[in-house]
């Protein structure tokens, strides 16, 4: 990514230095701390009279900072030359501003760095003359860093260092800081370059640096850093990174809402913010305060069920921080450069429990290494706990895989679930009214008249914002005679969505259309092979339209990174899967078993993740348990195959961690076991099936333990142990059962 220097923002940090008596321009300077300006020592020295000036006049280069001239007293300076034209090292002076104008208390400050320029290119802003007899208005300059001279000045080339640039800040884009002060020219009539004093002379002193300049420099450095950190955006605006926000996912920036023609579910999606965000302004303010804190890396999390508003909260937090100059968005699965970006970052991880904990911990470690007081990292982790899970439990696998600063940040993570607290009665009514108006005018046109309707929102489900919005969605799309029905609002919203499928694909019978979208939601398809595998599951449903026609319809149905993308919001997609399974004579057992048999690990992983979310749905969990139990042993074997080193010819010690194993299926199966194969549910399975679960469970538990998933391993071993105890109690004289029980006990030490 390319870092630029924005001259308009740089000049806000620069001042013009003038003689007190005749207001002749002496050079430039820049704000290094509140009330302090750094310039070159020769700028405050009258060569004609050989007199050091005790005071000068300072005027901001940018009228937006201030327009009034202010007198500044010279607080400290280095010594003038003796028998030489060029000033000796370091040629620096500090000016203390008098508080005679309001801008003295509000001006911005630069960020200082003590190193030499990196990667060659440097930039400055000063006051070279443009017209004879006309006071210069300020102009940028650029140079290439050549090296360090014998007396410690930075030597610059490929730029014209003309009078008026003396005292100007030398900005290094790579360091994102001022690293020097322009002091002299090598040839004022060409681009031969010049010299600059390093900022390190002010920060840490050295030969030729007066003690008072060093003492003031230490104070100024502390005060200046605090001022910049209080307004990070002001300094980062000087050094914009082209397309920095492309390094994160920001789906809300590409909303594709097609009123009346697309799929109505689009207007329900939180990232598109069709309905104004209500009631959470105070908690959003705490996110801003959190981002402004000094910690380099800090973590917050929200653990809440679907439809509670956690994604919308994250979207609004990202929007607010992006407006303040932060890079803010969803952390992509693969790093695009954000892990090393030297800018403030607010990164959201949705469904954190579904991410590979080891890979995510490695990403967070990279982010921690790049984090700094000027470029902090804030992580907002969103989890959707399975039934019975404790708050924050989704972070446990991540903490287990983390070390160092990342582990410390996770240990101190703050629960921000107040952002998704249940709505009060009045809030439900307000949200319904706002949703009805927004959905109706978005879908039907801006002239749509909001009908007067009565709705009872007292049921506990309406404590969740999505359920209120689904009710409003149904009302907006149902016409003027709408009445709230007895069916859950998610089911009624799904009816509206399905009608659009049938209209857009009339060649397909309705049940098959539902099956296609449900498979796209349950397993998804990233490419042609995965789409073809799902079409094979549809093939027996009906001989009508062609596979190519169905594929084209599903590719255009919902946006996203894959070939076939799911129906969202997720609660709506999950309701479709539950409905579709219920339409089968066997409640979808054969279909689920077939999906868990797909060759693509990615499709199986996604299906397991969806089934975990549906674990609390009575109509689904029983059949999900049966399908998982049927495929359990084969899935454990796939985990074993997946976690083998990718190149077994190479010694493990020299393989890169990312090359050694893949654990995504292990993670999904481990979580599915915990969510679905509970003791009560397993006890209801045939004893022969339980025996198979126990044997395969021991193998899966070992895999989970060996790959740092101790919580999952504990749950898996618990299931195996309870099965073996049950079998042994049924037949205490069976030596095979006794041996299995002994193996389960021996597997327990973790």
Within this chain, do residues 213 and 284 fall inside the same structural domain, yes or no? no
Within this chain, do residues 194 and 341 fall inside the same structural domain, yes or no? no
Residue 616 has pLDDT above 70, yes or no: yes
pLDDT (0 to 100) of residue 180: 98
CB 601 within 8 A of CB 567: no
Residue 646 has pLDDT above 70, yes or no: no
pLDDT (0 to 100) of residue 37: 99
Within this chain, do residues 11 and 91 fall inside the same structural domain, yes or no? yes
- Within a domain: 440: no
CB 405 within 8 A of CB 297: yes
Residue 139 has pLDDT above 90, yes or no: yes
What CA–CA distances, in Å, run from 509 to 486, 492, 621, 627? Answer: 27, 20, 28, 27
What secondary structure does DSSP assign to 299-336, as a single string? EEEEE--TTSSHHHHHHHHHHHHHHTT-EEEEPPSS-S
- Within a domain: 225: yes
What secondary structure does DSSP assign to 406-463, as a single string? HHHHHHT-EE-GGGGPPPPHHHHHHHHHHHHHHHHHHHH-TTPPPP-------SGGGG
Of residues 638 and 745, the one with the higher pLDDT is 638
pLDDT (0 to 100) of residue 653: 41
Determine if the peptide bond prior to 354 is cis (ω within 30°).
Answer: no
- Within a domain: 159: yes
If you average pLDDT over every residue of the chain, what do you get?
Answer: 91
- Within a domain: 481: no
Residue 147 has pLDDT above 60, yes or no: yes
Lowest-confidence range among 122-126, 558-562, 675-679, 745-749? 745-749
> How many of the other CB atoms lie within 10 Å of CB of 271?
20
Residue 9 has pLDDT above 60, yes or no: yes
Within this chain, do residues 185 and 66 fall inside the same structural domain, yes or no? yes
Q: What is the pTM of this model?
A: 0.90
Residue 682 has pLDDT above 70, yes or no: yes
Domain that holds residue 391: 277-420
Q: What does the CA dihedral 495, 499, 505, 507 come to, rounded to 10 degrees?
A: 90
Residue 581 has pLDDT above 70, yes or no: yes
Of residues 441 and 653, the one with the higher pLDDT is 441
**Residue 611: strand, helix, or coil:** helix
> Distance between CA 53 and CA 40 in Å, rounded?
12
Residue 690 has pLDDT above 90, yes or no: no
Q: What is the mean pLDDT of residues 292-297?
A: 95
* Of 420, 453, 472, the domain-final residue: 420
pLDDT (0 to 100) of residue 130: 87
Within this chain, do residues 310 and 177 fall inside the same structural domain, yes or no? no
pLDDT (0 to 100) of residue 750: 47
* Of 236, 268, 299, the domain-final residue: 236
CB 81 within 8 A of CB 87: yes
pLDDT (0 to 100) of residue 167: 98
> Distance between CA 651 and CA 389 in Å, rounded?
39
Residue 700 has pLDDT above 50, yes or no: yes
Q: Where are the beta strands (DSSP E) in 64-118?
A: 70-77, 93-97
- Within a domain: 219: yes
* Radius of gyration in angstroms for the set of CA atoms belonging to the chain, rounded to a whole number: 33
> Distance between CA 239 and CA 354 in Å, rounded?
36
How confident is the model over 355-411, as pLDDT tens digits? 988 889 999 999 999 999 999 999 999 999 876 666 677 888 889 889 999 999 999
Within this chain, do residues 74 and 187 fall inside the same structural domain, yes or no? yes
Beta-bridge mates of residue 25: 18
Sorting pLDDT into bands at 50, 70 and 90, what band is 540? low
Q: How far is CA 351 from the centre of its chain?
A: 13
514: left (phi over 0), alpha (psi -120 to 50) or beta: alpha
- CB half-sphere exposure, 236, CA atoms < 13 A: 23
Q: In CATH, what number is assigned to the domain containing residue 313?
A: 3.40.50.300
pLDDT over 70, % of the chain = 94
How confident is the model over 230-246, as pLDDT tens digits? 999 999 999 999 899 99
pLDDT (0 to 100) of residue 651: 44
Of residues 710 and 673, the one with the higher pLDDT is 673
**Residue 64: strand, helix, or coil:** coil
- Within a domain: 26: yes
CA angle 391, 397, 399 (to 5 degrees): 85
Q: What is the mean pLDDT of residues 490-503?
A: 95
Q: Of the candidates 320, 312, 329, 310, which has an alpha carbon nearest to the alpha carbon of residue 288?
A: 320
How confident is the model over 398-423, as pLDDT tens digits? 898 899 999 999 999 999 999 999 99
H or E segment and range at residue 170? strand 169-172
* Of 181, 210, 236, the domain-final residue: 236
Q: Of the candidates 557, 554, 527, 526, which has an alpha carbon nearest to the alpha carbon of residue 538?
A: 554
Measure CA of the first residue to CA of the last residue in the chain; give whole Å: 45
Give percent helix, percent strand, percent coil of the chain, each to the nearest 5.
Answer: 45, 15, 40
> Distance between CA 15 and CA 62 in Å, rounded?
8
pLDDT (0 to 100) of residue 652: 39
Highest mean pLDDT among 116-120, 133-137, 326-330: 326-330
Please, what is the angle between helix 570-582 and helix 510-522, to 10°? 130
Residue 78 has pLDDT above 90, yes or no: yes
> Distance between CA 514 and CA 553 in Å, rounded?
13
pLDDT over 90, % of the chain = 71
Within this chain, do residues 202 and 54 fall inside the same structural domain, yes or no? yes
What CA–CA distances, in Å, run from 613 to 151, 436, 551, 592, 625? Answer: 68, 28, 27, 15, 13
Sorting pLDDT into bands at 50, 70 and 90, what band is 658? very low
Q: In CATH, what number is assigned to the domain containing residue 120?
A: 2.40.10.120
Residue 743 has pLDDT above 90, yes or no: no
> Distance between CA 623 and CA 95 in Å, rounded?
77
Q: How many domains does the chain fold into?
A: 2
Sorting pLDDT into bands at 50, 70 and 90, what band is 261? low
- Within a domain: 265: no
Within this chain, do residues 47 and 187 fall inside the same structural domain, yes or no? yes
Within this chain, do residues 284 and 213 fall inside the same structural domain, yes or no? no
Determine if the peptide bond prior to 90 is cis (ω within 30°).
Answer: yes
Q: Of the candidates 211, 183, 205, 167, which has an alpha carbon nearest to the alpha carbon of residue 38?
A: 167
Within this chain, do residues 31 and 98 fall inside the same structural domain, yes or no? yes
Within this chain, do residues 173 and 309 fall inside the same structural domain, yes or no? no
> Distance between CA 550 and CA 531 in Å, rounded?
10
> How many of the other CB atoms lie within 10 Å of CB of 172?
26
Within this chain, do residues 283 and 202 fall inside the same structural domain, yes or no? no
In 614-686, which residue ranges form alpha helices assigned H by DSSP?
618-642, 657-660, 664-676, 679-683
596: left (phi over 0), alpha (psi -120 to 50) or beta: alpha
Sorting pLDDT into bands at 50, 70 and 90, what band is 660? very low
- Within a domain: 60: yes
> Distance between CA 656 and CA 645 in Å, rounded?
10
Indicate if the alpha-carbon torsion angle 455, 456, 457, 460 is positive or negative.
negative
How confident is the model over 184-227, as pLDDT tens digits? 999 888 889 999 999 999 999 988 999 999 999 999 999 999 99
Please, what is the angle between helix 357-370 and helix 404-411, to 10°? 100
Of residues 718 and 533, the one with the higher pLDDT is 533
386: left (phi over 0), alpha (psi -120 to 50) or beta: beta
Q: What is the mean pLDDT of residues 55-61?
A: 98
Residue 657 has pLDDT above 50, yes or no: no
> Distance between CA 238 and CA 177 in Å, rounded?
10
């Amino acid at each position: 990514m390319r870092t630029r220097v924005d001259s308009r923002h740089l000049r806000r940090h620069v001042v013009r230095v003038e003689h007190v008596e005749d207001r002749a321009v002496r050079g430039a300077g820049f704000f290094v701390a509140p009330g302090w300006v750094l310039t070159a020592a020769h700028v405050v020295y009258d060569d004609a009279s050989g007199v050091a000036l005790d005071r000068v006049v300072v005027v901001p280069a940018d009228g937006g900072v201030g327009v009034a001239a202010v007198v500044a007293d010279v607080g400290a300076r280095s010594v003038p030359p003796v028998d030489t034209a060029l000033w000796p090292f370091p040629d620096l002076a500090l000016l203390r501003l008098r508080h005679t104008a309001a801008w003295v208390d509000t001006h911005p400050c630069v960020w200082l760095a003590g190193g030499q320029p990196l990667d060659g290119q440097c930039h400055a802003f000063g006051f070279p003359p443009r017209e004879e007899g006309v006071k210069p208005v300020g102009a940028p300059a650029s140079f290439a860093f050549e090296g360090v001279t014998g007396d410690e000045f930075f030597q610059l080339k490929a730029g014209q260092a003309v009078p008026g640039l003396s005292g100007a800040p030398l900005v290094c884009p790579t360091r994102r800081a001022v690293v020097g002060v322009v002091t002299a020219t090598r040839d004022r009539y060409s681009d031969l370059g010049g010299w600059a004093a390093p900022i390190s002379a002010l920060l840490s002193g050295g030969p030729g640096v007066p003690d008072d300049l060093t003492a003031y420099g230490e104070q100024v450095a502390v005060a200046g850093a605090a001022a910049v950190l209080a307004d990070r955006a002001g300094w980062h605006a000087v050094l914009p990174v082209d397309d920095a926000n492309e390094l994160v996912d920001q789906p809300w920036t590409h909303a594709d809402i097609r009123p009346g023609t697309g799929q109505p579910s689009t207007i329900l999606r939180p990232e598109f913010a069709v309905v104004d965000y209500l009631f959470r302004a105070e908690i959003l303010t705490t996110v801003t305060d959190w981002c402004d804190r000094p910690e380099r890396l800090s973590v917050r999390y929200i653990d809440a069920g679907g439809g509670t508003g956690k994604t919308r909260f994250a979207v609004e937090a990202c929007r607010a921080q992006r407006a303040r100059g932060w890079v803010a968005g969803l952390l992509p699965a693969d790093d695009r450069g954000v892990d090393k970006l030297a800018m403030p970052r607010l990164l959201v991880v949705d469904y954190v429990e579904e991410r590979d904990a080891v890979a995510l911990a490695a990403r967070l470690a990279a982010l921690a290494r790049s984090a700094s007081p000027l470029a902090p990292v804030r992580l907002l982790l969103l989890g959707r706990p399975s039934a019975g899970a404790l708050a924050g439990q989704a972070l446990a696998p991540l903490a287990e895989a983390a070390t160092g600063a990342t582990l410390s940040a996770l240990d101190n993570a703050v629960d921000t679930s107040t952002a998704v607290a249940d709505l009060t009665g009045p809030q439900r009514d307000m949200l319904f009214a706002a949703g009805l108006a927004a959905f109706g005018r978005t879908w039907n046109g801006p002239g749509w008249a909001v009908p007067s309707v009565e709705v009872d929102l007292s049921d506990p489900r309406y404590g969740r914002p999505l359920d209120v919005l689904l009710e409003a969605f149904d009302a907006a799309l149902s016409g003027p005679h709408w009445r709230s029905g007895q069916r859950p609002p998610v089911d009624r919203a799904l009816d509206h969505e399905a009608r659009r499928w049938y209209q857009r694909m009339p060649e397909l019978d309705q049940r098959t259309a539902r099956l296609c979208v449900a498979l796209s939601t349950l397993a998804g398809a990233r490419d042609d092979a995965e789409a073809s595998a799902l079409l094979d599951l549809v093939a027996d449903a009906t001989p009508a339209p062609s596979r190519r026609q169905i594929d084209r319809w599903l590719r255009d149905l919902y946006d996203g990174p894959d070939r076939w993308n799911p129906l969202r919001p997720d609660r709506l997609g999950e309701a479709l899967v539950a409905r579709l399974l219920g339409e089968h004579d066997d409640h979808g057992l054969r279909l689920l078993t077939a999906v868990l048999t797909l060759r693509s690990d990615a499709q199986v992983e996604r299906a397991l993740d969806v089934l975990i979310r549906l674990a609390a749905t009575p109509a689904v969990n029983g059949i999900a348990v049966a399908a998982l139990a049927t495929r359990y042993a084969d899935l454990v074997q796939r985990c074993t195959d997946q976690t083998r080193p990718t190149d077994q010819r190479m010694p493990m010690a020299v393989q890169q961690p990312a090359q050694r194993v893949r654990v995504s299926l292990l993670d999904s199966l481990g979580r599915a076991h915990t969510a679905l194969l509970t003791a009560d549910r397993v006890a209801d399975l045939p004893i022969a099936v339980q025996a198979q679960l126990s044997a395969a469970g021991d193998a899966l538990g070992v895999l989970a333990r060996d790959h740092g998933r101790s919580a999952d391993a504990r749950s898996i071993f618990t299931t195996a142990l309870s099965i073996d105890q049950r079998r042994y109690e049924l037949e205490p004289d069976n030596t095979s059962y006794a041996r299995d029980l002994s193996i389960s006990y021996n597997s327990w030490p973790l």
